[in-house]
Amino acid sequence: MKIYRAGIYARLSVRGSERKAESIENQFLICREFAKVTDDIEIIGCYSDFGKSGMNYDRPGFKRMYEDILAKKIDCVIVKDLSRFGRNHIDTGEFLQKIFPLLGVRFIAVSDGYDSISDMFGKKEFAVNLKNLVNELYAYDIGVKVKYAKELKKREGNYLGSRAPYGYKIVYENDIRVLRREEMTYRIVRQILKMYDDGRSIKEIADMLYMERINPPGEYLKSREVMKSGEIMTEGGKDAELKRWNESTIRNIIKKHKI
């Protein structure tokens, strides 16, 4: 009896519509339980992609699994269901009906009850194609709904960014997510704009911010300190722990406030 060397593949996007039952761990568990009661399968490895769309195959975990297939390390792929493998019915069909058979790879979708070696004559092919098409339409429908929800929030006046730009904070006013000036950091923004209006170059502004020990935005987010505490300087008047402002960051601040 041929023993198949299997790789378990799991995928999870970051959309809230995906149930907890679709977690990477749960997908692995379902596939492992299936393999335990299947005499001709040996699990060789597990591959996963978190926060990746099923509409394309540009995924690190999938690529690593495919490389192992080409290297003959595995000759069987097990997924919880077809939607975890992919939601693009054309590309998914290409893998299941052409590439995998050509490479001698067995494909199993546990929850869909599909096993390629028990479908040698294509009896389930129509059902698989239909399932792939449904998965793609589902992904498209979710994408449209997410886009619509964002547009609606934007029209209501909601700020949609994941975090506030330097000089501002996110607050909720009447259930609307808006930007408001943050007193301490906005003072630095005004200082940058004044230096620019006074004819200072971007490099000069960066140098002056450094000499005043003002933390750049990234460091401020970590420490919540507008200014670097302490006065210890290394040789040459430089503090090894004090980070310099990126000149592109200064340009972006000026650009946003000069429009």
Least confident residue range of 19-33, 75-89, 144-158:
144-158
pLDDT at 45: 95
Predicted confidence band of residue 22 (pLDDT cuts 50, 70, 90): confident
The model's pLDDT over 193-252, given as tens digits with 9 standing for 90+, comes to 999 999 999 999 999 999 989 999 988 888 888 888 765 444 455 555 788 899 999 999
**Mean pLDDT of the chain, nearest integer:** 81
Within 13 Å and on the Cβ side, how many CA atoms surround 102? 7
Q: What angle do CA 101, 65, 71 make, to 5 degrees?
A: 70
Task: Give the distance, in angstroms, between the CA of residue 30 and the centroid of all CA atoms in the same chain.
Answer: 24
Q: Is 39:1 a contact under the CB 8 Å cutoff? A: yes
Closest CA to 41 of 125, 110, 111, 95: 110
What distance in Å separates the CA atoms of residue 138 and residue 68, rounded to the nearest whole number? 30
- 64 vs 174 pLDDT, higher one: 64
Q: Which distant-in-sequence residues (6+ apart) come within 8 Å of 13 by Cβ?
A: 51, 52, 53, 54
- 44 vs 126 pLDDT, higher one: 44
Q: Is 83:140 a contact under the CB 8 Å cutoff? A: no
User: At residue 158, does pLDDT exceed 50?
Assistant: yes
What distance in Å separates the CA atoms of residue 11 and residue 30, rounded to the nearest whole number? 13
- Reported for 161-168, long-range contacts at CB under 8 A and 24+ positions apart, including other chains, are 163/221, 165/253, 165/256, 166/217, 166/220, 166/249, 166/253, 167/253
User: At residue 254, does pLDDT exceed 70?
Assistant: yes
The model's pLDDT over 99-139, given as tens digits with 9 standing for 90+, comes to 999 999 999 999 888 898 885 434 455 455 545 545 554 55
Domains of the chain: 4-148 (3.40.50.1390), 181-258 (no CATH)
Torsion sign, CA atoms 133, 112, 141, 95: negative
Q: Is 221:168 a contact under the CB 8 Å cutoff? A: no
Helix (H) or strand (E) holding 178: strand 176-181
Torsion of CA 84, 88, 89, 95, to 10 degrees: -70
150: amino acid identity, one letter: K
Q: Is 140:226 a contact under the CB 8 Å cutoff? A: no
What distance in Å separates the CA atoms of residue 192 and residue 250, rounded to the nearest whole number? 8
215: amino acid identity, one letter: N
- 127 vs 168 pLDDT, higher one: 168
Closest CA to 247 of 239, 255, 235: 255
Instruction: Give start and end residues of each alpha helix (H) in 52-167.
Output: 60-70, 82-85, 89-94, 100-103, 125-155
- 114 vs 153 pLDDT, higher one: 114
- Across 142-151, 157-166, 226-235, the highest mean pLDDT is recorded for 157-166
User: At residue 153, does pLDDT exceed 60?
Assistant: no
